A and B are shown apart, each in its own frame.
Chain A
Amino acid sequence: MVERAFQITEEDIFVDAVVARLADPAIGAVITFVGVVRGVTEGRQVHYLEYEAYPGMAESVLRQIGDEIRARWETIREVAIVHRVGRLQVGETAVVIALSAAHRHEVFDAVHYAIDRIKEIGPIWKKEVWADGAEWRSEGG
Chain B
Amino acid sequence: MTNGQIAVKVRFFAAPREAIGTGEIEVEIPTGSTVGDLIDLLTEEYPALRTYTRFISVAVNRGYVGMQNVLHDGDEVACLPPVGGG
Contact = CB atoms under 8 A, between A and B. Distances in A.
B67 to A, nearest CB: 17
Interface string B63-86: 110000000000000101111111
Interface residues of A, number: 27
Interface in B6-41: 11, 13-15
Interface in A114-141: 115, 118-127, 136-140
Contacts, number: 69
Interface residues of B, number: 17
B48 interface: no
A57 interface: yes
B62 A120 contact: no
A119 B83 CA distance: 7
Contacts of B14: 52, 125, 127, 136
9 contacts: A51-B85, A52-B14, A54-B11, A54-B59, A57-B59, A60-B62, A127-B14, A139-B84, A140-B55
